């Protein structure tokens, strides 16, 4: 396959937020009605733009920098910080968007922008990025240096074909993610109905509280709860387990490891955790404080990205920045959502202070409303099919992602045949 080589700056325009047009917390607004999305590196998840959680800046700041207003088929690249080089294409703009100072944006792209977005993810391009900033105390990729990096470009038909092949896999991944979002929302809605509004089915199948079910004042919680329910910490229904990291200095603990090793940075927004960046060996597992956690255990991140939750979807170990919660009855669905309430409780306690970490005593001293076993069991039976589908979709996402990532360099290097007729 024949390619032409171009400097990135010759096939697009590169823009960043000008220093004196930066913004402060005073420019932030809470609602999309009052401002534009300001993209940050955390919005890029698995190489795709994720706008489920956004920061907004006021309209005045947005209008101040028209050159970085985001349009469809623009490509953003993280230029500074630990995630430098991370990149994603903007597929659609449903709400006005701009950049925070950590990004640059590629505009007026003269080749297929989808092809370019995939090329920027290749080892070939990322090694060039690392060659500029690797080893720096504060990694920074200037627009001038970025413009000089080399992009290999085949003819237009091959560009389009490569983009279509990779996009077909990406499309399947995104469909599964949307289905999972809906499945989680359905399960969460039922949880809130039963355990927050207390309208679980009574003996006649009617909503408990709305139908006049007995409510009892609880002194610990300072509110009424259903009769028979009680106030207790989450340890009443789950065991708290901790993790640990085997020595990085011992190669046999890590080299060719096959046991997934979870850390807070592995969280990607999925309910189930299937894959991890790191793996350890059996010897590594034997020489660290972590156990091998089985499927259905809930992991809570305690440092770094604090308060994120996942359910173990395949046996894995974890580092010391997490806690694992193991349901005593084996019904993890209720435990998962109850743990989200635990996180809300901890955040409320920490209001006005920096929420830097979670320790075991924080969990043990947080009082929650615990339902009776029969109601918990009924709920878990109701939502189990939703969670099973969530898990199956997550496994398929991992498999499709692996296919895409393995196919990417083969297509770019001409090692996989491309029919461009």
Q: Give me the pLDDT at residue 253, please.
A: 98
pLDDT at residue 41 above 80? yes
Reduce the DSSP state of residue 109 to 3 states and report it. Answer: coil
CB atoms near residue 376 (< 10 Å): 22
pTM across the whole model: 0.86
**Which pLDDT score is estimated for 421?**
54
Report residue 81's pLDDT band, with 50, 70 and 90 as the boundaries.
Answer: confident
Name the nearest CA neighbour of 170 among 41, 46, 76, 43. Answer: 46
131, 176 contact by CB (below 8 A): no
Q: How far apart are CA 137 and CA 139, in angstroms?
A: 6
Q: pLDDT tens across 201-212, in order? A: 999 999 999 999
Mean pLDDT of the chain: 93
Give the percent of the chain with pLDDT over 90: 83
Radius of gyration of the chain (CA): 24
Q: How, if at all, do strands 230-232 and 368-370 pair?
A: antiparallel
How far apart CA 410 and CA 287 sit, in angstroms, is 38
Q: How far, in Å, CA of 221 to CA of 244, rounded?
A: 34
What DSSP state is assigned to residue 201?
Answer: B
Average pLDDT of 137-160? 93
Q: State yes or no: pLDDT of 296 exceeds 80.
A: yes
| pLDDT of amino acid 352 | 46
Between residues 46 and 29, which one has the greater pLDDT? 29
Mean pLDDT of 302-328: 94
Tens-digit pLDDT profile for residues 225-236: 999 999 999 999
Higher pLDDT, 136 or 145: 145
231-236 long-range contacts (CB < 8 A, ≥24 apart) are 231/367, 231/368, 231/369, 231/370, 232/367, 232/368, 232/370, 233/363, 233/364, 233/365, 233/366, 233/367, 233/368, 234/325, 234/335, 234/338, 234/339, 234/342, 234/363, 234/366, 234/368, 235/363, 235/364, 236/370
Q: pLDDT (tens digit, 9 = 90+) per residue, 216-266? A: 999 999 999 999 999 999 999 999 999 999 999 999 999 999 999 999 989
Nearest to 77 by CA among 29, 135, 133: 133
Give me the residue label for tokens 């970025």.
146
Contact 13, 163 (CB under 8 A): no
Domains and CATH numbers, the chain: 4-153 (3.90.220.20), 230-370 (3.90.220.20)
Sign (positive or negative) of CA dihedral 216, 373, 186, 297: positive
Q: Which helix (H) or strand (E) holds 98?
A: strand 97-99
DSSP annotation of 313:
S
Tokens at 10, concatenated: 């010759």
Band of pLDDT at residue 326, cut at 50, 70 and 90: very high
pLDDT for residue 351 is more than 60: no
pLDDT digits (tens, 9 = 90+) for 264-288: 989 988 999 999 999 999 999 999 9
Spatial distance between the Cα atoms of 212 and 23, rounded to a whole number of angstroms: 53
For residue 48, how many other CB atoms are within 10 A of its CB? 14
């Amino acid at each position: 396959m024949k390619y032409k080589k171009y400097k990135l700056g010759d096939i697009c325009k590169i823009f960043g937020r000008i220093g004196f047009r930066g913004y402060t917390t005073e420019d932030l607004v809470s609602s999309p009605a009052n401002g534009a999305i300001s993209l940050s590196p955390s919005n890029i998840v698995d190489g795709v733009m994720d706008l489920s959680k956004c920061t907004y800046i006021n309209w005045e700041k947005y209008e101040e920098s028209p050159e970085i207003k985001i349009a469809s088929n623009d490509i953003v690249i993280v230029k500074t910080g630990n995630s430098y080089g991370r990149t994603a294409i903007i597929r659609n703009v449903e709400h006005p968007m701009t950049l925070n100072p950590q990004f640059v944006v590629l505009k007026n792209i003269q080749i297929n922008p989808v092809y370019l977005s995939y090329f920027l993810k290749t080892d070939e391009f990322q090694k060039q990025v690392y060659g500029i900033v690797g080893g720096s105390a504060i990694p920074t990729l200037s627009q001038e240096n970025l413009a000089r990096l080399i992009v290999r470009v085949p003819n237009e038909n091959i560009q389009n074909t490569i983009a279509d092949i990779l996009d077909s896999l990406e499309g399947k991944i995104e469909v599964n993610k949307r289905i999972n979002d809906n499945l989680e929302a359905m399960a969460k809605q039922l949880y809130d109905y039963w355990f927050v509004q207390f309208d679980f089915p009574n003996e006649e199948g009617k909503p408990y509280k709305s139908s006049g079910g007995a409510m009892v004042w609880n002194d610990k919680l300072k509110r009424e709860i259903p009769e028979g329910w009680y106030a207790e910490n989450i340890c009443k229904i789950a065991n708290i387990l901790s993790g640990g990291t085997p020595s990085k200095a011992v190669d046999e603990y890590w080299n060719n490891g096959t046991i997934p090793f979870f850390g807070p940075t592995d969280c990607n927004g999925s309910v189930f955790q299937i894959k991890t960046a790191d793996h350890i060996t059996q010897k590594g597992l034997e020489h660290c404080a972590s156990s091998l956690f089985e499927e259905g255990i809930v992991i809570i991140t305690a440092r770094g990205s604090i308060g994120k939750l996942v359910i173990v979807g395949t046996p894995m170990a974890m580092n010391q920045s997490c806690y694992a919660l193991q349901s005593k009855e084996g019904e993890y669905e209720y435990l998962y959502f109850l743990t989200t309430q635990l996180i809300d409780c901890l955040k409320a306690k920490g209001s006005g202070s920096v929420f830097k970490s979670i320790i075991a005593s924080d969990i043990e001293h947080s009082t929650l409303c615990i339902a009776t076993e029969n109601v918990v069991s009924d709920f878990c039976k109701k939502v189990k099919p939703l969670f099973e589908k969530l898990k199956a979709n997550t496994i398929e996402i991992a498999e499709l992602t692996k296919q895409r990532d393995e196919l990417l360099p083969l297509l770019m290097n001409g090692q996989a045949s491309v029919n461009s007729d």
